[in-house]
Structure 1
Amino acid sequence: MKIGVITWFHYENYGTILQAAALQEYLKSIKTEPALIEIPFYQIDSRQIRVNFSERVKSHISNKIVSKRFGKYFAAKSKKFHDAIYAKYNVMPIEDTFSKTCNMFDLLICGSDQIWSPYWYNDFYFANFPDITVPKISYAPSIGVKEIPPYLQGTYYSTLKHFNKLSVREESARKEIERITSLSCQTVLDPVFLLDRNKWLEVIENVQDLKPDYIFCYMLGDNENHWKAIHEFASKYNMKLVIIPMKSVSYLEKGEHCYDAGPYEFLNLIANARYVLTDSFHASAFSIILQKQFYVFERTAKTDAHSQNSRIYNLLEISGLNDRIQEFNHKRIQETEDIDYQKVNLRMGPFIQKSKKYLKDAIKDVSVRK
């Protein structure tokens, strides 16, 4: 069966690339022929992005400073992101039209990451065009927020009713979709959990082995209090920080910086770390898969209407690791006992099998109907 996967895989975001790679690897392992479908460039609807003027100015200035000082690393980093997908997996370019390309497959899967977020709703990520005739299912897309805005609820219903099977990544998203559409939807795990620890260690190929005498730090937010907590933690254990910088503050923090790290170096840094400190969903997910001690910060306050913390809460609830969360804006890490991964694996196992079963059954159902 030829399967076209619709997801993000162009952004230089480690989780974005690795979730796309994971789904390709798993689909190949169950004897299908997957390909990632190129998505035409589109303009994000500015009505859906609420960033105040001062924040935009601050971000613009910070980006210019970072580009001037560290821009020499960016080309090498970009090539590593590009090669992580294009050198390893089948990518289908658009042939004539997007719909015509989609119709070349036996099945479409709208895949993981926040492709269904209401803040950048786009028909391409739902394959929502009347001339697309092949069946489609979803596997673990995220809406990223607690609620779909009222003005988009009708759009979501009219779009999602055309799917053969629906699944999402967070329990809160499942409840929201079922609430506004009355359609049946299932919660499944992010594609990175479809591959086990040994498979991911195989994926980290030709990457330098590192001594586990460091704390790996990967922060998508720019919260100064979180950085204070991180440095205090490193000082307490007399360990160096190894940082993949993402925002302007992280480029200037004290530690060893990996300015041009690609997706597989990102995995390697997690795999060899003594501790992982992050505010990232995927860094947390890989910490669990690779059985590392970690703490994860809330990137935004619980009261923030645009908070994306729900996916982290959901992951920690499933894995029984709620005590790893660090409250937003706290200046000190609230430490707990080391993670017992034997217990975590016992909890995660049934969820992983349930996720695999959903995907296999959905593919089989389409195959039988054809």
Structure 2
Amino acid sequence: MKKIGIVSFPRYFNYGTYLQLFAMQQMVARLGFEPEIIDYDPYNDSGRKPDASPGAGGFLRGTVLRSVASRTLSYLRSYRRTGSRDVDYRQERNIRFAQFLSGSLRLGRKTYFDEAQLQADRPSCAAFIVGSDQVWHPTAHHEDSTYYLGFAERHQRIAYAPSFGVSEIPPGSRDWIRQRLLEIPHLSVRETAGAAVIGELTGRQVPVVLDPVFLVEPRDWAEFGESVGRRLGPYLLCYFLESDSYMRDRALAIARSLGLRPVMVPVHPRDTESAESDFEYLSGVGPREFVDLVRQAAFVCTDSFHGTAFSILFNRPFYTFRRYDNPYQAANHSRIDSILRIMGLEGRIRGIGQPVCDPGDLDFSVANSAIASLRRESLEYLDDALSIATRTEPLVPVQKVNLAAC
């Protein structure tokens, strides 16, 4: 069986990141290949400096020890703050993530800490997939060609549903990104805004495909989930990455109007340090528990792409809140705007100052039809790309493009 390497963020403890990775590996296996997630950890300085201590950041910056437990303990120590409730929530959550990483994700045996290591000792795979998630965000990794599969043979490169996370590329990054895109023969994106960016930079028309979580049927996600929601009774679930006060206030108002118990999956320190006592904070929520909490919720309030995605998949009434109000930061909403537009649910997004109206039942018939159709098209794209990329030699040699001629 041919092995397929997957490049994303395997050391980033985030629900959407891990769930799309899990979905991608399942789809690759379903298409008859052996998936392997490339353990690329460029944010772990200790991989190059044995005495380096882990920093406090969104990415897992543990020790170079290979055991997940050692990495997790190092990560937790960097977050410890005396007297903060946030510590306990983080500890229990991160233990769940570590268990999921070691037990459910097919992570490669070797950890790579920079581009040079990958290029010098490339994993033995027939093809490589980059995506999904915001792997192409122009400010996330400074000209790291790993996320454009620069270490792989050109004919082996497949981009499945990567996201730029923005609708415009900064001028200083445009030429570098253009060249990387032109070197990927099998190219797709997750958002219509991303397709427009690629069209402007390269002149190529590329397909917009579904985020991997949509490729898995809701019934399969239901079996995947760890049952926790049923014990809570009728509840409104909050999952906020920014957790501004206006989001929490609106969520509480909806919960009261519908007679629901307001519960929150804490992510940001503000979640557990706020003075509000109306929320019940849920501890020990890993990826499996998260899926079940969305599935069992009577209503969902979120500012997250994947919080929105799973609400749509499970046909849960929801509102998605904008995190930003100024025009520059609002560009970060392109991924959510795109999926809501595709699903015919544009009315479910709310910004600062916008009233929350009619939070009740939703008609998901248009969304369900769109998912079914796009799921077929997305799987066809992935199947075709893998079939071509895994051939021993490329059908047509890929030539380097002279940027001066573009």
Compute the TM-score of the two structures, normalised by the length of structure 2: 0.80
Q: CA deviation at 1:193?
A: 0.5
Equivalences for residues 347-366 of structure 1 within 5 A: 347-366=370-389
Tell whether the 8 Å contact from 2:8 to 2:130 is kept in structure 1 after alignment: yes
Task: Indicate which of 116, 129, 139 corresponds to 2:136.
Answer: 116
Equivalences for residues 117-156 of structure 1 within 5 A: 117-121=137-141, 122-129=144-151, 132=153, 135-156=156-177
Are the structure 2 counterparts of residues 65 and 282 from structure 1 closer, same or farther at C-alpha, using a change threshold of 3 Å?
A: same
- Output the CA distance in 2 between the equivalents of 1:347 and 1:40: 36
- Output the CA distance in 2 between the equivalents of 1:323 and 1:83: 38
1:4 matched to 2:5: yes
Are the structure 2 counterparts of residues 136 and 216 from structure 1 closer, same or farther at C-alpha, using a change threshold of 3 Å?
A: same
Match of 2:54 in 1: none
Tell whether the 8 Å contact from 2:235 to 2:263 is kept in structure 1 after alignment: yes
Tell whether the 8 Å contact from 2:169 to 2:197 is kept in structure 1 after alignment: yes
1:268 matched to 2:289: no
Match of 2:106 in 1: 90
**3-state SS of paired residue (2:331):** coil
Bigger shift: residues 305-314 or 256-265: 305-314
- Output the CA distance in 1 between the equivalents of 2:247 and 2:339: 21
1:107 matched to 2:107: no
- Output the CA distance in 2 between the equivalents of 1:302 and 1:336: 26
Q: Considering only aligned residues, what root-mean-square deviation do their CA atoms show, in Å?
A: 2.4
Match of 2:308 in 1: 284
Equivalences for residues 39-118 of structure 1 within 5 A: 39-42=40-43, 68-94=84-110, 97-118=117-138
Are the structure 2 counterparts of residues 39 and 288 from structure 1 closer, same or farther at C-alpha, using a change threshold of 3 Å?
A: same
1:232 matched to 2:247: no
Q: CA deviation at 1:333?
A: 1.6
Bigger shift: residues 170-179 or 255-264: 255-264
Are the structure 2 counterparts of residues 95 and 84 from structure 1 closer, same or farther at C-alpha, using a change threshold of 3 Å?
A: closer
Q: CA deviation at 1:69?
A: 2.9
- Output the CA distance in 1 between the equivalents of 2:122 and 2:208: 25
**3-state SS of paired residue (1:118):** coil
**3-state SS of paired residue (2:104):** coil
**3-state SS of paired residue (2:301):** strand
CA deviations over 1:46-72 (Å, ceiling 9, x no partner):
xxxxxxxxxxxxxxxxx8869733313
Match of 1:35 in 2: 36
**3-state SS of paired residue (1:296):** strand
- Output the CA distance in 1 between the equivalents of 2:263 and 2:10: 25
- Output the CA distance in 2 between the equivalents of 1:287 and 1:102: 38
Q: CA deviation at 1:348?
A: 2.2
Task: Indicate which of 178, 185, 210 corresponds to 2:231.
Answer: 210
1:323 matched to 2:357: no
Are the structure 2 counterparts of residues 158 and 33 from structure 1 closer, same or farther at C-alpha, using a change threshold of 3 Å?
A: same
Tell whether the 8 Å contact from 1:223 to 1:329 is kept in structure 2 after alignment: no
1:21 matched to 2:37: no
Aligned length: 350
- Output the CA distance in 2 between the equivalents of 1:38 and 1:24: 14
Bigger shift: residues 208-217 or 235-244: 208-217
Match of 1:55 in 2: none
Tell whether the 8 Å contact from 1:99 to 1:132 is kept in structure 2 after alignment: no
1:168 matched to 2:189: yes
Q: CA deviation at 1:142?
A: 0.6
- Output the CA distance in 1 between the equivalents of 2:195 and 2:82: 39
CA deviations over 1:215-250 (Å, ceiling 9, x no partner):
001111232122221111112122211101122332
Are the structure 2 counterparts of residues 310 and 95 from structure 1 closer, same or farther at C-alpha, using a change threshold of 3 Å?
A: closer
Amino acid at match of 2:175: G
Q: CA deviation at 1:337?
A: 5.7
**3-state SS of paired residue (2:319):** strand
Bigger shift: residues 230-239 or 23-32: 230-239
Q: CA deviation at 1:84?
A: 1.5
In structure 2, stretches of 5+ residues that fail to align are 46-78, 394-406
Q: CA deviation at 1:341?
A: 2.4
Amino acid at match of 1:316: L
Compute the TM-score of the two structures, normalised by the length of structure 1: 0.88
Are the structure 2 counterparts of residues 95 and 217 from structure 1 closer, same or farther at C-alpha, using a change threshold of 3 Å?
A: closer
Q: CA deviation at 1:335?
A: 2.4
Are the structure 2 counterparts of residues 171 and 43 from structure 1 closer, same or farther at C-alpha, using a change threshold of 3 Å?
A: farther
Tell whether the 8 Å contact from 2:235 to 2:262 is kept in structure 1 after alignment: yes
Match of 2:57 in 1: none
Match of 1:338 in 2: 361
Match of 2:396 in 1: none
Tell whether the 8 Å contact from 2:133 to 2:163 is kept in structure 1 after alignment: yes
Q: CA deviation at 1:367?
A: 3.3
In structure 1, stretches of 5+ residues that fail to align are 45-62
**3-state SS of paired residue (1:109):** strand
Bigger shift: residues 163-172 or 199-208: 199-208
Tell whether the 8 Å contact from 2:148 to 2:180 is kept in structure 1 after alignment: yes
Amino acid at match of 2:147: Y
